[in-house]
Structure 1
Amino acid sequence: MMRYRSCLILALTIGVAHIAIAQDAKPNYDESKIPAYTLPDPLAGIESAAQWPARRKQILEQFAAEMFGKVPTDKFNAISVKDAGTRKQVLGGKATMWQPVITLAGRDLNLLVVMPTDSQQAPAFLAYNFHGNHTVLDDADIPLTKNWVRSKPDNRAREEDRGSAASRWAVEKIIDNGFALVTLYYGDVDPDVDDGFENGVHAAFPDKPAADQWGSIATWAWGLSRVLDFLGTVPEIDETRVAVMGHSRLGKTSLWAGANDERFALVISNNSGCGGAAISRRRIGESVARINTSFPHWFCDNFLKYNDNESQLPFDQHMLIALMAPRPVYVASAVEDTWADPRGEFLAAKHATPVYELLGREGLPADEMPAVDEPSQGSIGYHIRSGGHSVTEFDWTQYIKFAKRHLMNEQ
């Protein structure tokens, strides 16, 4: 594939030809084998809150150039509404569902909106789903996606998948607590496959991404901002109270979306691991080399320079979390999800705390990693729950509580 060949060529030119060896190496899960490291200081050279915006801009630009990739142009930012969608009552009448279709860079994005019936300026959770809107709710009026779908026979959606991911969404709980849910299939924006960026919104751009330009995660994040543009035209949803949420690779995406677009009022990372909330320098579980080899389309080509070379990163993931400050951000881990390095996710949240404190916020209250299923919530929230790599009812209970505190002023 074109993208993979370009990655290999770049890797060889920067002297990291052992990338294949790194992929085959057994991952480390032993804390005693973590290499000695020093984290960069997000507040380097900063003495007052007034100096933070300039430092924030510097950190954001470093992440864009060296990891996620820059959006090459804003030429295609404009969205248009292709289909306003027909509204219908669901969940016994307590919620209204509708499915607007917006067009971005020549690509149709099919949204699923579920909001409290008769809502007035409701806050909302915005999140991508992995296999199509029809997996979130079992409703015959939700069409199957026609786009490429990972981990499915022939990479196509099936009728039997309806409602298959409902347990991950807690839609009724979201509605009962006064929030709307807005979701869309991430493959509508860019297919999650190393295809040389021939498909998705990239097809609208004349050139393939340069070494410092967007990979798929940055593209998905850009798409979330365009959906937020649309939500600004929806009277029933308060665009100033939108929480962006994501799980796994989409947790990495929600963090990057929140870092780039300060209109997102609250940011949630669920089990995002390497390249998301976990400290890269720890090199435990999934590493930079392994993620770049397994998913070469996720990040920009410049990120290859840090394969087995994390100590040379000009940043680490605590600084990504700090880019949300002073807005609330929640990081969640799971005990059995060792691949995502739960302790590294906690440490990143904790090491972002000084930035929040500089800006007059509490940060993460816990001094030590909290006990399992016992959340710690300040302006930064964190929990490690029982179970594995997923989104559960417990996770949503904490996110709703956190969002009600910060977006509804409810304690």
Structure 2
Amino acid sequence: MKIAFPYCLLLLCCFAGFKSQAQTFPSNNDESKVAAYTLPDVLKMPNGKQCANSREWMQVQRPYIFHLYEENQFGRFPSKKINIRYRLLETDKNALGGTATRKQVRIFLHPADSSVYTDLLLYIPNQVKGPVPVFLGYNFSGNHTVSTDNNIILGNRWVPSRARGAVNNRATEASRGADTASWQVSTILVKGFAIATAYYGDLEPDTAAGFMMGIRSSLKDVLNIQPNEWCAMGAWAWGLSLMVDYLQQDNSIDAHKIALLGHSRLGKAALWAGAADPRFALIVSNESGEGGAAISRRWYGETLQIINAHFPHWFAAKYKTYGDNVNALPVDAHMLLSLMAPRPLYVASAVEDTWSDPKGEFLSAKEASKVYALFGKKGIDADSMPALQQQVGGTVRYHIRAGKHAVTLYDWEQYLQFASEQFR
């Protein structure tokens, strides 16, 4: 079988990543060992002048920074609009004991190949009349894991072997409800918000060779983008934008109040989606860490070098070239967060999740607040991290809670309060 050159190049990068996993890269969890660093100036425009107002930000500086991210971390974000189709697979107006309407929608991503799709699970609160705000986010192992609702269609796509109930990388009945703790469905519905979720592996399986089974291969001719011109994070982020296309035409959803949430690696994808698509009205980064909300130049927790060694498919090839010299990277996390402005942004950490560098996440949110100030928006002005379980900030908000790397009830309570406040 002949393999096109771009595939060969990408496979070589993947195998190089696998080889590098055998190497041991230093990491650090001691704050006293974090060396001094200098962040790129988020307000310094290409002409060397300081961005002075919101107009200059939107017309000059924001496009410039977005391009830097395409060039150095995520690769191209598809700009071509494609004609996607939807099929309502199932609906129930009395789901979850009558508290919600459940919809399961298949979104076909290829104009001529019905095998290229993602399934969106949607719960809409029945107690609210009229269009409702929605939280959209990926799940890690299939829609059937977010609730014990046995009517959720059991996915048949590849899932990680670590997923509960998985047999030969496929979900089983034992997988149902495996991640209900991360999706506080009843709490979200009671607050008047809908929930929309899809399995990120529908877009691209999370393996180094997953691109061969994902949309970077199946849609390369449709989008006119070769697989090596973007990355898994880009594929997952773009998929979120396609889900917005559906949500905006669903009359039960308030198209102007679509909140995007991502946890861990999916927090990185959510931030890139939020940067690329202004239709996300509010963005939440839950412990997204390196490559997401945490400052890469801080030698603490997971590093750029480590993440690229362990997950060579997550980011564009050029991002790997900065492993030995992170200071040469022309962007850092505060600049990614700044691309959300002026929309509400919530960044959250957990005190035991040192791998995600909570302080680095706080500092980047504080630094991004400079951009929000251009719009007259209050960001984070605190000089030090807040106490546990305490919010700080305004349109840019931050908290660090007790516990480990997870999405908890406490986190959801803060996000729902924040969204309710911002969506008034």
Q: 1:189 maps to what in 2?
A: 203
> How far apart in 2 are the matches of 1:37 and 1:153?
46
SS in 2 for 1:348: helix
SS in 2 for 1:24: coil
> How far apart in 2 are the matches of 1:197 and 1:366?
42
Find the partner of 2:119 among 101, 104, 110: 110
> Offset at 1:203?
2.8
| Contact 1:72–1:214 (Cα < 8 Å) also in 2 | no
Q: 1:15 maps to what in 2?
A: none
Q: 1:368 maps to what in 2?
A: 384
1:231-282 Cα distance to aligned partner (Å, 9 max, x none): 1110010111000001000000111110000110000000100000000000
Moved more, 229-238 or 97-106: 97-106
1:60-71 equivalent positions in 2, closer than 5 A: 60-71=66-77
> Offset at 1:84?
5.1
Matched, 1:159 2:173: yes
> Offset at 1:30?
1.5
Instruction: Write the letter of the residue equivalent to 1:135.
Output: T
> How far apart in 2 are the matches of 1:264 and 1:191?
24
> How far apart in 2 are the matches of 1:395 and 1:123?
18
Instruction: Write the letter of the residue equivalent to 2:145.
Output: T
1:110-137 Cα distance to aligned partner (Å, 9 max, x none): 1110011154110000000001111111
1:336-375 equivalent positions in 2, closer than 5 A: 336-375=352-391
Moved more, 99-108 or 58-67: 99-108
1:324-335 equivalent positions in 2, closer than 5 A: 324-335=340-351
> How far apart in 2 are the matches of 1:190 and 1:82?
21
Q: 2:88 maps to what in 1?
A: 83
1:33-89 Cα distance to aligned partner (Å, 9 max, x none): 2232100111112122221111000000101111011135626x3210133532231
Count of residue pairs the alignment pairs up: 399
Instruction: Give the % identical residues.
Output: 46
Instruction: Write the letter of the residue equivalent to 2:38.
Output: T
Q: 2:4 maps to what in 1?
A: none
| Contact 1:274–1:280 (Cα < 8 Å) also in 2 | yes
Distance 1:404 1:208, change over 3 A: closer
Moved more, 87-96 or 60-69: 87-96
TM-score, normalised to structure 1, is 0.92
SS in 1 for 2:189: helix
> How far apart in 1 are the matches of 2:172 and 2:157?
12
TM-score, normalised to structure 2, is 0.90
Find the partner of 1:201 among 198, 215, 218: 215
SS in 2 for 1:198: helix
1:194-217 Cα distance to aligned partner (Å, 9 max, x none): 116211212322588465x21111
SS in 1 for 2:90: coil
Matched, 1:404 2:417: no
Distance 1:195 1:80, change over 3 A: same
> Offset at 1:169?
0.8
Instruction: Write the letter of the residue equivalent to 1:362.
Output: K
> How far apart in 1 are the matches of 2:275 and 2:251?
26
SS in 2 for 1:306: coil
SS in 2 for 1:29: coil
| Contact 1:327–1:379 (Cα < 8 Å) also in 2 | yes
Moved more, 180-189 or 149-158: 149-158
> How far apart in 2 are the matches of 1:259 and 1:381?
17
Q: 1:5 maps to what in 2?
A: 12
Q: 2:244 maps to what in 1?
A: 228
> Offset at 1:90?
2.2
Q: Which runs of 5+ in 1 are unaligned?
A: 12-17
SS in 2 for 1:281: coil
Find the partner of 1:303 among 309, 319, 323: 319
> Offset at 1:7?
5.0
Q: 1:282 maps to what in 2?
A: 298
1:249-328 equivalent positions in 2, closer than 5 A: 249-328=265-344
Moved more, 199-208 or 388-397: 199-208
> Offset at 1:295?
0.5
Instruction: Write the letter of the residue equivalent to 1:202.
Output: R
Distance 1:209 1:30, change over 3 A: farther
Find the partner of 1:123 among 125, 130, 133: 133
Kindly report structure 1 stretches of 4+ aligned residues shifted beyond 6 Å: none
> How far apart in 2 are the matches of 1:352 and 1:387?
26
